[in-house]
Amino acid sequence: MIIAIDIGGTKMRIGYSEIGDHLKDYIDIPTPINQRVVVSTISETIKKLVGSSTEIDAIGIAAPGPINKDRGTIISPRTIPWRNLRIVQGLKKIYNCPVVLEHDATAGGIAEARIGAGKDHSVVLYITLSTGIGNSIIVNGSPLPSKHNPEGGWQLIGTDPSEDRFSLQANGKAIEQRFGKKPSEIHDHHTWQIIAQDLALGIYNMITIIQPDCVVLGGGVSVNYKRFIKPLKRQLAELSPVYPLPKITKARYADTAPAIGAILLAIEKIR
């Protein structure tokens, strides 16, 4: 049995899989603020999910950056007050099995590029639109080699580094603060046009630099894909791209891609 842990800014999803391409079941819990209880909270939730006698073959963790994969450490996520959480070591002590840690956007991109909406494309730009905005670049099913994960959400779209970050202007929290509603509660077409305009500049920059074959949009905001995709494509076209825009599509695993990617990576550890 493979355990998947998807850590988000507000909630943590803990699930399991027996065949590797989907979560058979999962439990969502609030993300602990106190990092001292993170490992024990995860362990207690796993026990509720699969029982205490089930053998765990491997664990995959998708976590917000920055992370140190070599040390198995979540360094300092921007949406959670943790510092240098040694999560891999803590879980290995309990379960005595392989534990793999990956950036959540990279894990999501791996899932979508290998078995999801980007499966038939060589170069996939995966963008997660959620509490924050993140991205990964997947080439032939594997992340583009680099020392750190890409941080497309942290790009500057203005001159003030404290305010003009793409994620700060267009993530799920920014949408809720600006319009007084969660994205799922917004049904007005004009409002989605404004949201699409906010999204377009950052996505345009990533497309222009990366030149992917396919752009896959995941995360909680992407659940509203049909409400914003047409105005988003219009906004992108109005920015006069150098080359034709690539295919832009909704993630197959819109709300579970990081967990699915964590499962795929965990399976690699036991093969």
Determine contact, residues 62/259, Cβ cutoff 8 Å: yes
Q: What is the mean pLDDT of the segment spanning 133-149?
A: 91
Side-chain-side CA neighbours of residue 183 (13 Å) = 24
Structure tokens at 245: 């825009």
Tell me the average pLDDT across 175-188: 92
271 falls in which pLDDT band (50, 70, 90)? confident
User: 92: which 2 tokens?
Assistant: 């290995």
Q: What whole-number distance in Å separates Cα of residue 170 and Cα of residue 133?
A: 8
pLDDT at 101: 96
CA separation for the pair 194, 227 (Å, rounded): 11
For residues 153 and 166, the answer to whether their CB atoms sit within 8 Å is yes
Q: Which residue has the higher pLDDT, 20 or 193?
A: 193
Instruction: Dig out the tokens for 134 from the structure.
Output: 């993140």
Instruction: Say yes or no to pLDDT of 26 above 90.
Output: yes
**Res. 176 pLDDT band, cuts 50 70 90:** very high
Chain mean pLDDT for the chain: 93
Q: Does 20 have pLDDT greater than 80? A: no
Residue 242's Cβ-count burial label (10 Å; 0-12, 13-18, 19+) is exposed
Which fold, 2-103?
Nucleotidyltransferase; domain 5 (3.30.420)
Predicted TM-score (pTM) above 0.75:
yes
Q: Report percent pLDDT > 90 for the chain.
A: 83
**Which stretches of 31-120 are DSSP H helices?**
38-50, 87-95, 104-115
Q: Which pLDDT band, with edges at 50, 70 and 90, does 19 fall under?
A: confident
| pLDDT tens sequence across 194-205 | 999 999 999 999
Residue 228 has pLDDT above 80, yes or no: yes
- For residue 197, report the phi and psi dihedrals to the nearest 5 degrees: -65, -40
pLDDT bucket at 240, cuts 50 / 70 / 90: very high
Within the chain, which residue ranges are assigned CATH 3.30.420.40? 2-103, 117-250
pLDDT of residue 74: 96
Distance of CA 143 to the CA centre of its chain: 14
| CATH fold for domain 117-250 | Nucleotidyltransferase; domain 5 (3.30.420)
DSSP string across 61-85:
EEEPSSEETTTTEE---TTS---SB
* Rounded Cα distance, 79 and 61, in Å: 17
> From its phi and psi, is residue 180 left (phi > 0), alpha (psi between -120 and 50) or beta?
left
Specify the range with the lowest mean pLDDT, choosing from 91-100, 107-116, 160-169: 160-169
Strand partners, 135: 127
**pLDDT tens string 30-65:** 999 999 999 999 999 999 999 988 899 999 999 988
Count Cβ atoms below 10 Å from residue 203 Cβ, excluding itself.
26
The single residue listed with the structure tokens 């319009």 is 179
